[in-house]
Each structure stands twice: as C-alpha cells, then as structure tokens.
Copies of this chain bind each other. A is one copy, B any other.
Amino acid sequence: MSASDELTLEERGPTALDDVRSWIAAGNSAELAAWLRASDAADVIYTAAQLTDQEREGLLSTLRPDQAADLFELLPEPQRIEALQSMEPGDAAAIVHELASDDQADIISEVENAEEILAALDPEEAAVIRGLADYEWNTAGGLMIAEFFAFPKDLRVGEIVSRLQDAADNGDDYDVQYVYVVDDDSKLAGVLRLRDLLLSPRGRPAEALMLRDPHSVHVDDTLEQLVAFFNDHGFFGAPVLDDEGRLLGVVRASAVREATTERSDSDYSKSQGIVGGEELRSMPLRIRCTRRLSWLSLNIVLNVAAASIIALHQETLEAVIALAVFLPIISDMSGCSGNQAVAVSMRELSLNVARPRDWLRVWRKESLVGIINGLALGLLIGVVAILWQGSPALGVVVGGALALNTVVAVSIGGVVPLLLKGLKLDPALASGPILTTVTDMCGFLLVLSFASYAMDYLR
C-alpha cells in the first residue's frame, strides 16, 4: 500500500483539486467523468467550490450534458447562476434540458441570460419553463413539477402499465409515485398508487381502481400551508389544481422540505445582515462588499441617531464619567435580550403556533420574561458598578436602567416580528435594526436621565 492510499479523502483534497484543474485545462472529459463517479458527493461540492468561476464553467462545458447536470444540481445556487451566465447559451440549454422542470424554472428566473437559454431550447419545453417561472417560488405553483402521468378514466390497468413501461424506455422516468386519472376537461378525477397497479387485474379500468377525491393542493397555496399539508398526510407528492380543479402539476414533499430549509437558512443570513440573497466567498469582491455595505450603511445611520441621545446629555456624562463605561454594556445587553425574543417569535411564526394578531398575548408573555430577567441582569450590573466605584447611587442608576430597558427590549423584540409579518414585511431582515435602534435610544435615555435626577448622590 503506498503512502497516498493511507491518507483520508480530506487530506488528499489538494491533490484531487490539482488533478481536476489539469483535466479541465486539457478538456479531458473521460478523467473528469471518472472522478465524479468515484467521488463522494460532499468532496465533489468542496472541490468544485475551490475552482475559479472560469474553471467551474470549463468543468461543466467539458462534461457530457447529463453528467454536467448531475454536477450542476450539487452546486450552491450562486455558483449555478454564475456558471450558466458565462456559458455558451447552447451549452447552458443542454444542461437546463436535463433538469427537472421545477429546477429549470428556478434557475431560469434567476439568470440574466434567460431569454438566450430559452431560445436554445425546444420551444415546447421553453413554454413549460416560462409557465412555471411565472409562479412565486414559495407557492405550490412555484414548487411543482410539470412531469407527471395522467390517464383517462376508462384506460385499463394493462394499458397504463404498458404506457409507463414505454415512458421508462424513452427515459421519461419521473421518479413516479402516483399516476393521476383525469376526466375530459383535464380535471383531476382520482389517483392510482403504484401498489394498486401492482396488485390489480390488468383488465380493470382506471376508474374502478382509483382513489376518488384525492387530496390536492391549490396552485396558490403558500409554503406554510404545504408544510402543514405534508406533515398531515405524509405523501410523497400532491396534485396541484387550478380554480377549476384542472391538474397543473405535482408538488413533491421533498421540494417543500428543501424550500423550508432554504427559508430557514435565508432567515438566519438575513438576521445577520446578509441581504440580497446568498453570499459565497467565490462571488466577486465588488458584489460582496456593496451588498454588505448597503445593510451596514443603514445601520450606521440608525446608530448615529441612537447615539445622539448621548450627545444631548454630555454634561451628565462629564459630571459622572463612569457612566461612559456602562453605555455600551446597556446597549449590547439589551440587544441580546431583545434578539432572544425576536428569535422565539420568528420560530413561532414559522411553526405556525403564533400569528400576527397574537401580538398582545406575546407582548404580555414577553413582558413577564423581561421583568424577571431584567431584575436579574440589573442586579448583576448594579453590584458590579457598586463594587467598582463604591457608589450605591451609580449601582441603582445603572442597574435600574438596565432592568427597565430589558423589559422594553424583550417585549418589543417579541412583538416586532409579528407586526412586520402582519404588514407583509420581512421580519428576518427588519427586526434586528428596528429593535437595536429603539433599545439603544431608550437605554441611553434611561441611564442618562436617571443619572441627572440622581446627580447629587453620584458626584
């Protein structure tokens, strides 16, 4: 056994990367395909991420379209968009052709050169993609696929099985779980499960075998409704109907779960100030800096506004300089306490156990938490102030201000996401800046006005 065989995949990473780079440069599609087949998907993703945009594009263009599509589906979205935009429209279209229709619609609605790619596709396929791309991504329409089997009511089991077989022979293998039965107006009449087809005489008509009034979703149903639907039913997919009950597509439970993960990830990123979609370090520096700055610039304006409260009370600060030590602590701790309440509200909204109209109940519940934790934190910081400066008055001023401001921060933090959601604004993006601005202003005001009242005892 040679030394290199004893290395783990992790340790062999850099070597694999150099190999992949040289194969791309040489246009060696056979070696690249062999590497893809032999590698763990996690390592493929990691290696592809180390490549430059040009190399990644070269990798996709060198592979056979079906192999390129398999790799393409593994890449994070920003890398997929970048690659399609810089490829020849014909090469891009060849990859898009291999994707499932929901993925086709997603990527086409994101890339700048959508029209060129659609023009390079079969017109019928392009029309289907255009139709799907019109729906909002977080609705049943945006998440559904257009690939499904629907047969008339009077077709017999034997014929259905043989058509499925033909489709499989043609490569139209839709990971089929359900087969739908429609009437003459393409309205959904029933559903056939594969196991029913398996266990039934071949001469029976679909109508006799199908489950009638199957569960279905409406094309406008939201992600929250779909999550609840699949939690409730445990199906692999559901037929998507329009207002007239016509069958438009199939939404897969897996697509709904992926969209949920995407939303959670994006809520997390947005709450930390990553706006305008996902950021990867492979993206151009200019885009990364300007996107982050757009959020930071708003924040600095809000920060200056909040700090102006301090500027208005400079004489108090001058008299008791020790207060300056506690201003950042009060600002930061109130932000922490408030953000905990924001996180719980975000979670309750996404779990559907709280709705915007519950703001008063949430406000009452959070106020209680705020009072208890405010007392605890106020006591703590008050004791620190007394021990440090030997001034009981300083302890009371600083501790009292933090206690009160914690109540404000926690109750506002709990309510703000509900109100934003009720106003159809994005709570993940806006809750943080609103919260910290209000709590900073209020906190500075509390500590400095308490201090000016207690000035005789502080000096």
Q: List A residues at the B interface (Cβ < 8 Å).
A: 10, 40-42, 44-46, 49, 70, 73-74, 76, 161, 164-165, 168, 175-177, 194-195, 197-199, 224-225, 228-229, 231-232, 234, 236, 253-254, 257-258, 260-261, 264-265, 267-269, 271-274, 278-282, 285, 288-289, 292-293, 295-297, 299-300, 303-304, 306-308, 310-311, 314, 317-318, 321-322, 324-329, 331-333, 335-337, 339-340, 342-344, 346-348, 350-355, 357, 362, 365-366, 368-369, 372-373, 376-377, 380-381, 384, 388, 436, 440, 444
**Contact of A289 (CB < 8 Å), options: B41, B303, B372:** B372
Contact B168 A333 (CB under 8 A): no
**Contact of A337 (CB < 8 Å), options: B195, B228, B267, B292:** B292
Using known A-B contacts A175-B234, A231-B73, A261-B257, determine if residue A296 contacts B373 with beta carbons closer than 8 Å. Answer: yes
**Chain B residues within 8 Å of A304, by CB:** 329, 381, 384
Contact B232 A70 (CB under 8 A): yes
Contact B42 A352 (CB under 8 A): yes
Using known A-B contacts A76-B353, A268-B264, A327-B324, determine if residue A289 contacts B369 with beta carbons closer than 8 Å. Answer: yes
List of 6 A-B pairs having minimum Cβ-Cβ separation, nearest first = A49-B353, A41-B228, A41-B232, A272-B343, A264-B264, A257-B257
Contact B296 A333 (CB under 8 A): yes
Contact A273 B231 (CB under 8 A): no
Q: How far is the CA of A236 from the CA of B235 in the complex (A)?
A: 12
Using known A-B contacts A76-B353, A229-B41, A267-B268, determine if residue A365 contacts B325 with beta carbons closer than 8 Å. Answer: no
Using CB atoms, name the residue of chain B closest to A368.
B285
